[in-house]
Amino acid sequence: MPEPHTPGPLLPGRRVLVVGAGTRPSDDPGAPVGNGRAIAVTAAREGARVACADRDEAAAAETARLVEAAGGDPAAGAAVITADVADPVACERAVGLAADRLGGLDAVVFNAGIGTGYGLAGTALADWDHVLDVNLRGPFLVAKAALPILDAGAALVFIGSLAGTKPGSRSPSYDASKAGLTGLVRHIAAEAAPRGVRANVVAPGLIDTVMGRDASAGNTDRDRVAQLIPMRRQGTAWEVADVTAFLLSHRAAYVTGQVVHVDGGLSTLR
Ligand SMILES: NC(=O)c1ccc[n+]([C@@H]2O[C@H](COP(=O)([O-])OP(=O)(O)OC[C@H]3O[C@@H](n4cnc5c(N)ncnc54)[C@H](O)[C@@H]3O)[C@@H](O)[C@H]2O)c1
């Protein structure tokens, strides 16, 4: 039976791979940080060593710079890994490189996510396939590569979406991929539990990131839904990151196979 924890950093010495650790580029100098970048920086602030993987190498490198500034182990630095998770080989390679650079792995976050195509008529077969490849096959391949090298006490977090349980994104491939992610993560959790490894989904609602602002552009539905949020505001990537860091930590030692909504109460509405 684990002992009660004393207060302190959530992730001391934990070796964390964040896949999708960049942030979508923006011309706005005041652009908000994305979920993956906030997760990587928060993990470092909580004592972790972090490997930053993204298809956008410059974005991953900028996150690594922020991770080092936030107190990630300066001797190790923050590893930058260029990986497009639409490529099955890159998924496996990213896990192997992260384990090499960090000397093993204790935690994996899969944050990469895209949405392409609106409505059934506006979604080409290629859009559907690409979104499913990134949002659902990518998590499968990364988990498949990571599980054999994760020891008891390790944890995985997958960034889902409220779109996985409620309609509203207007993108059938996005909605389906995020719903499928829940099934995949329940499976991973069940398969990994006997080995003491946990897996959970963090499902953000409306989060003020560059992707969130892009999704709002010309989308009156998103503005209408934003008015309904019980907490009367959109969330920040830092709020997504705090929940993710908790779920990666030993303080969440008895939580697995769950979907934790970070949505200001939006999922509680009918
Ligand atoms: N912003 C929101 O309102 C919101 C709501 C619910 C869920 N989410 C989820 O949060 C996650 C991050 O979203 P964000 O708003 O921070 O957006 P973002 O676009 O800033 O972040 C996504 C990151 O994933 C990377 N990425 C995309 N495709 C990739 C690929 N093929 N291989 C490797 N990396 C890739 C991007 O380069 C980027 O750094 C996504 O999974 C998204 O579905 C966001």
pLDDT per residue as tens digits for the range 95-114: 999 999 999 999 999 999 99
The shares of helix, strand and coil residues in the chain, as percent rounded to the nearest 5, are 45, 15, 40
* Residues in a beta bridge with 259: 201
Beta strands 79-82; 107-110: pairing state: unpaired
Q: Which two tokens stand for residue 258?
A: 């769950």
At position 128, the amino acid (one-letter code) is W
Give residue 1's pLDDT. 65
Residues 227 and 269 sit within 8 Å (Cβ to Cβ): no
Torsions phi, psi of 157, nearest 5?
Answer: -130, 135
First to last CA, the chain: 39
Average pLDDT, the chain: 94
Residues 204 and 161 sit within 8 Å (Cβ to Cβ): yes
Give residue 214's pLDDT. 85
Q: Residue 150: which of 41, 15, 49, 2 has the closest Cα?
A: 15
Give residue 169's pLDDT. 87
pLDDT per residue as tens digits for the range 215-235: 877 677 777 888 999 999 999
Give the chain's count of helices (H) and strands (E): 9, 7
Torsions phi, psi of 25, nearest 5?
Answer: -65, 150
Does pLDDT of 11 surpass 60? yes
Q: Angle at which helices 88-102 and 138-146 pack, to 10 degrees?
A: 40
Within 6 Å (CB) of ligand 1, which residues are found? 20, 22-24, 34-36, 54-56, 59, 83-86, 111-114, 134, 159, 161, 204, 206-207, 209-212, 237
Mutate to test the pocket of ligand 1, among 142, 209, 244, 261 (most ligand atoms within 8 A of CB): 209
Residue 41: left if φ>0, alpha if ψ -120 to 50, beta else—which one?
alpha
Q: Is 51 helix (H, G, I), strand (E, B) or coil?
A: strand
Task: Tell me the DSSP string of 196-234.
Answer: T-EEEEEEE-SB-SHHHHHHHTT-HHHHHHHHH-TTSS-
Q: 56 falls in which pLDDT band (50, 70, 90)?
A: very high
Its pTM stands at: 0.97
174 catalytic, yes or no? yes
Protein residue with least CA distance to atom 42, ligand 1: 113
Residue 36 CA to ligand 1 center (angstroms) comes to: 7
For residues 226 and 233, what is the distance between their CA atoms, to the nearest angstrom? 7
For residues 227 and 214, what is the distance between their CA atoms, to the nearest angstrom? 18
Does pLDDT of 34 surpass 90? yes
| Mean pLDDT on 72-92 | 85
Does pLDDT of 76 surpass 70? no
Q: Which is the catalytic residue, given 110, 128, 158, 174?
A: 174
Give residue 77's pLDDT. 62
Beta strands 198-204; 155-159: pairing state: parallel
Does pLDDT of 27 surpass 80? yes
For residues 63 and 109, what is the distance between their CA atoms, to the nearest angstrom? 14
**Domains in the chain, CATH or no CATH each:** 15-259 (3.40.50.720)
